[in-house]
């Protein structure tokens, strides 16, 4: 529990592939695109390689901070794991339990990528699900993966529509993943983040011509993760110290996810207050009479309060409050015209 500490919000794009794996652009070009869409940070995650880091591409690109982690998989190409803040590549010769443990030992940040992926429509793109659920050592899961959602809904019939309207086909995280996330949080803190999984893929239509599916610029206007750091990040400051603040905020679950296509979510806050003090996302507060949750939004929307995985209440406004009737984990989902816009992380109210 914290008193009335001030936090600093930075929004970023997480889970992006460059030419160092199966992406289609070099990191400086991707950074330029991220700068143009106005985010504060960009986290690159190539498959099983930290070349981007070793070759000096982490750093400041004007006001944009670029960090390089990697997306590790096992020998069967399952259990994709986003690892940040480490200098070891680990990689596909290890089993998932080994790299999850290594990332933890090295003090890195480890996030399960697209946990419940199940695309069966087009055999060319098989699913890459997570299987190691009994581990206690991962920090979080990607509750919303833009590429996964797009691919899962893809059939030979709607392919053209989805290629032309990529952002309209991004609707919501999988319910299965949200349920799993809620269940995990009943036991321990597991952070939820949003990833774009951008590659800037070229797709061949009828074998005739290639078009770029989800250009980086299109992806970068969709799912973002906003972090609340406990100290400000100053443009030009030491890169490792700046990245550490971001990784730390994510580890502690002081973050939320937005679908930027529906509107800019900067300024969203979700806190719990009572006579003991105040808690923000990722924190806890003991239950007292008059424990109240306050939600502030940059514009009016529908706010759903979720308690231990079940919807407890809903209100509309740009400033809403809910009472906490019992101990448990609480998060909010915010919808704009029925479409999911913001997912907070949890606040824990203890007995």
Do 84 and 244 meet the contact criterion of CB atoms below 8 Å apart? no
Site string for Zn ion, 42-71 (x = CB under 5 A): -----------------------------x
Site string for Zn ion, 259-298 (x = CB under 5 A): ----------------------------------------
Site string for Zn ion, 215-244 (x = CB under 5 A): ------------------------------
Among 150-158, 176-184, 194-202, 249-257, which window interacts with Zn ion (CB under 5 A)?
A: 194-202
Number of residues interacting with Zn ion: please give it, by CB under 5 A.
4
Find where tokens 């606040």 sit.
347
Q: Is 197 in the site for Zn ion (CB under 5 A)?
A: yes
State which residue, 38 or 129, has the beta carbon closest to Zn ion: 129
The residue at minimum Cβ distance from Zn ion is 80
Among 77-85, 214-222, 266-274, 277-285, which window interacts with Zn ion (CB under 5 A)?
A: 77-85
State which residue, 15 or 226, has the beta carbon closest to Zn ion: 15
The least distance separating Zn ion from the CB of residue 330, rounded to whole angstroms, comes to 30
Query: How many other C-beta atoms lie within 10 A of the C-beta of residue 180?
Result: 20
The least distance separating Zn ion from the CB of residue 146, rounded to whole angstroms, comes to 10
Backbone angles phi, psi at 218, to 5 degrees: -70, -50
Three-class SS of residue 284? Answer: strand
State which residue, 40 or 117, has the beta carbon closest to Zn ion: 117
The least distance separating Zn ion from the CB of residue 199, rounded to whole angstroms, comes to 7
State which residue, 58 or 197, has the beta carbon closest to Zn ion: 197
Residues between 86 and 125 with contacts to Zn ion, criterion CB under 5 A: 113
Do 144 and 117 meet the contact criterion of CB atoms below 8 Å apart? no
Determine which helix (DSSP H) or strand (DSSP E) holds 161, and give its type and residue range: helix 159-164
The least distance separating Zn ion from the CB of residue 69, rounded to whole angstroms, comes to 11
The least distance separating Zn ion from the CB of residue 123, rounded to whole angstroms, comes to 17
To 10 degrees, the CA torsion angle through 307, 310, 315, 317? 70
**Of 243, 284, 305, the residue nearest 84 (C-alpha):** 243
State which residue, 90 or 113, has the beta carbon closest to Zn ion: 113
The least distance separating Zn ion from the CB of residue 14, rounded to whole angstroms, comes to 10
Do 253 and 282 meet the contact criterion of CB atoms below 8 Å apart? yes
Q: Is 189 in the site for Zn ion (CB under 5 A)?
A: no
State which residue, 200 or 282, has the beta carbon closest to Zn ion: 200
Q: Is 80 in the site for Zn ion (CB under 5 A)?
A: yes
Q: Is 252 in the site for Zn ion (CB under 5 A)?
A: no
Q: Spell 82-114 as b/e; 16+ CB within 10 A means b.
A: bbbbbeebbbeebebeebbbbbbeeebbbbbbb
Determine which helix (DSSP H) or strand (DSSP E) holds 53, and give its type and residue range: helix 51-54
State which residue, 71 or 149, has the beta carbon closest to Zn ion: 71
CA distance 223 to 14: 9
Do 210 and 204 meet the contact criterion of CB atoms below 8 Å apart? yes
Query: How many other C-beta atoms lie within 10 A of the C-beta of residue 334?
Result: 25
Site string for Zn ion, 16-35 (x = CB under 5 A): --------------------
State which residue, 122 or 326, has the beta carbon closest to Zn ion: 122
Concatenated DSSP letters for 112-149? Answer: E-STT----S-TTS-------TT-S---EEEEEEHHHH
CA distance 152 to 131: 18
State which residue, 145 or 291, has the beta carbon closest to Zn ion: 145
Three-class SS of residue 97? Answer: helix
Q: Which stretches of the chain bind Zn ion, using CB under 5 A?
A: 71, 80, 113, 197
């Amino acid at each position: 529990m914290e008193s009335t500490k001030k936090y600093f919000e930075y929004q970023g794009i997480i889970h992006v592939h460059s030419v160092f794996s199966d992406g289609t652009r070099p990191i400086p070009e991707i950074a330029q695109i991220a700068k143009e869409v106005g985010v504060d940070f960009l986290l690159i995650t190539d498959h099983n390689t930290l070349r981007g880091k070793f070759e000096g591409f982490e750093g400041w690109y004007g006001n944009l901070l670029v960090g390089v982690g990697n997306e590790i998989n096992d020998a069967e190409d399952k259990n994709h794991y986003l690892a940040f803040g480490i200098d070891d590549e680990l990689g596909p010769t290890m089993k998932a339990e080994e790299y999850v443990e290594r990332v933890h030992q090295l003090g890195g940040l480890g996030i399960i990528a697209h946990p419940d992926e199940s695309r069966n429509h087009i055999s060319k793109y098989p699913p890459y699900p997570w299987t190691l659920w009994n581990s206690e050592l991962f920090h979080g899961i990607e509750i919303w993966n833009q590429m996964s959602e797009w691919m899962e809904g893809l059939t030979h019939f709607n392919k053209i529509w989805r290629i032309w309207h990529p952002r309209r086909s991004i609707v919501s995280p999988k319910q299965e993943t949200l349920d799993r996330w809620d269940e995990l949080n009943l036991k321990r803190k597991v952070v939820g983040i949003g990833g774009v999984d951008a590659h800037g893929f070229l797709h061949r239509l009828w074998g005739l011509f290639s078009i770029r599916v989800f250009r980086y610029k299109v992806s970068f206007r969709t799912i973002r993760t906003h972090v609340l750091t406990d100290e400000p990040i100053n443009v030009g400051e030491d890169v490792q110290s700046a990245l550490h603040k971001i990784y730390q905020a994510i580890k502690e679950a002081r973050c939320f996810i937005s679908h930027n296509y529906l509107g800019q979510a900067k300024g969203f806050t979700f806190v719990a207050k009572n006579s003991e003090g105040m808690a923000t996302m990722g924190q806890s507060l003991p239950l007292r009479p008059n424990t109240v949750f306050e939600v502030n939004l940059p514009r009016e929307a529908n706010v759903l309060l979720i308690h231990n995985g079940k919807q407890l209440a809903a209100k509309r406004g740009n400033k809403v409050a809910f009472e906490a009737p019992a101990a448990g984990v609480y998060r909010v989902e915010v919808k704009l015209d029925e479409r999911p816009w913001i997912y907070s992380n949890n606040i824990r109210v203890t007995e």
